[in-house]
Structure 1
Amino acid sequence: MIRAIALDDEILALKIIENYSEKIENLTLEKIFNKQSDAQKHLNKFPVDLIFLDIEMPTKNGLDFYKSISQNTKVIFTTAYSEYAVDAFNVNAVDYLLKPFSFERFKTAVEKVKMNDEKDEAKHLSIRADYKLHKINFNDIQLIEGLDDYIQIHLKDSSKITARSSMKNIMEKLSEKDFIRVHRSYILPVKDIKTIVNRNIHVGDFIIPIGETYKDDVMRIVNG
């Protein structure tokens, strides 16, 4: 499901986006805003996946507003001015809708978001934590540790991300060929399982025990 908001100083433009969004599966337009300050307050508390964003606005133009957002949020610009197209794609906009745009053109833009998400998910773990959507490259994950109702993702730069999730749910988001659960409390990248001593896996400075339930799967990887 793509969670979105729309920001435009024209109420009619917002109503059109609202109407079009209702017709598209897997797209939820959570809020519409005609003031940048209100949109910013919402984003600070409720991160979203996508913003439909006008460019010519009274306070700050949409390009500058988007650059000021400190989260991984995709953007589709909606504007009456064609001259901003190059600048829009320089900030990695998914699409650039020139007003007035049809429902079919709007739908095509949203489909691009879905396609980009599918490509991203093949290489990234997307997880919400600390009021942000984190997109973590699989290659940056050292291990994932289960802590009751939370998981802690240990990254190779020694930082950590703690999120509310079960180990079962997080495994469903990971590539089966790239990650394996080796213990009820630990998930490891397959390529990093190189040294096993006394039924413990050494990964960086960590010594991870192999759970009885998971030992056969681990040994298949080591021997395979």
Structure 2
Amino acid sequence: MIKAIAIDDEPLALQILEALCARIVYIDLIKTFTSQTEAQRYINKFEVDLLFLDIQMPRQNGIDLYKSLKQETKVIFTTAYSEYAVEGFNVSASDYILKPIAFDRFEEAVTKVKRELDLELNNTTVNTHLSIRADYKLYNIPHKDILFIEAMDDYIKINRENKGTVVARSTMKGILKKLPQDAFTRIHKSFIVNKSKVEAIQTGSIELAGRAFPIGSTYKDEVHNNF
């Protein structure tokens, strides 16, 4: 079951989303909000799989609201304005639906989210690949290809061996949860490394891929216990 909430400043729009969700057996619309502040408090407190999020709202643009969230959550933007489409996908939205929302289009969007969540769950179980959305695509990256992951404000950069980088919206804490703890470790607030790729360990740094990475004071014990 996909746990979802909806945020829209128009009560009628929320009633329509409730009716649409009621027709999909694997969607549980647990809460609806007209207040962005209340929605943010809820998301920061409880786990949510999917947001239905209006873009044009009075207090804060829905895209900016999504960027501010600490929890990594799937999002389907709902709006009457098509000009926001590119910006919506730039933040790795699962989909973007124009109002008024037809059921067929709604079903297509939530089916896409279900496929993404199922794939992530399967890959977590198999524990060989990392699934993550970036650049308008869903990447399925073998763990063995990852050298290190670097923090970039609200984004992370996944550095792959001989295959370039992938930049995705995530927190370091969120991405670490998706990785096997026996294969990856965080050595600094800005770096997660693939332990099998580490070439050398010194007192205050780790050598990997021909460069030195600092070991943060907070992570010294963790590094010591993991190598």
TM-score using structure 1 length: 0.59
Q: Deviations over 1:35-56 (max 9, x none)?
A: 1011111112112010000000
Whether contact under 8 Å (1:47, 1:133) holds in the other structure is: no
In structure 2, the residue matched to 1:142 is: 182
Whether contact under 8 Å (1:33, 1:39) holds in the other structure is: yes
Whether 1:44 aligns to 2:35 is no
Distance 2:178 2:34 in 1: 35
CA RMSD, aligned part only?
A: 2.5
Written as runs of structure 1 = structure 2, the 5 A alignment for 1:1-224 is 1-124=1-124, 136-138=177-179, 140-142=180-182, 156-157=185-186, 205=225
What is the aligned-residue identity percentage?
Answer: 49
Letter of the structure 2 residue corresponding to residue 109 of structure 1: A
Matched position secondary structure for 2:4 = strand
Q: Deviations over 1:65-111 (max 9, x none)?
A: 00000111010000000000000000010110000011111111100
Matched position secondary structure for 1:101 = coil
Whether contact under 8 Å (1:76, 1:96) holds in the other structure is: yes
Distance 2:51 2:24 in 1: 15
Question: Structure 1 105/206 Cα, relative in aligned 2: closer, same or farther at 3 Å?
Answer: closer
Q: Deviations over 1:174-220 (max 9, x none)?
A: xxxxxxxxxxxxxxxxxxxxxxxxxxxxxx9579xxxxxxxxxxxxx
**Gapped regions of structure 2 (runs ≥ 5):** 128-172, 189-223
**Larger Cα-atom Rg:** 1
How far residue 156 of structure 1 moved from its aligned partner, in angstroms, is 2.4
Question: Structure 1 88/206 Cα, relative in aligned 2: closer, same or farther at 3 Å?
Answer: closer
**Gapped regions of structure 1 (runs ≥ 5):** 127-131, 144-154, 160-203, 208-224
How far residue 62 of structure 1 moved from its aligned partner, in angstroms, is 0.2
Distance 1:111 1:206 in 2: 39
Whether contact under 8 Å (2:44, 2:71) holds in the other structure is: no
Question: Structure 1 134/32 Cα, relative in aligned 2: closer, same or farther at 3 Å?
Answer: farther
Distance 1:49 1:18 in 2: 16
Distance 2:119 2:99 in 1: 29
Matched position secondary structure for 1:48 = coil
Whether contact under 8 Å (1:78, 1:96) holds in the other structure is: yes
Whether contact under 8 Å (1:71, 1:133) holds in the other structure is: yes
TM-score using structure 2 length: 0.59
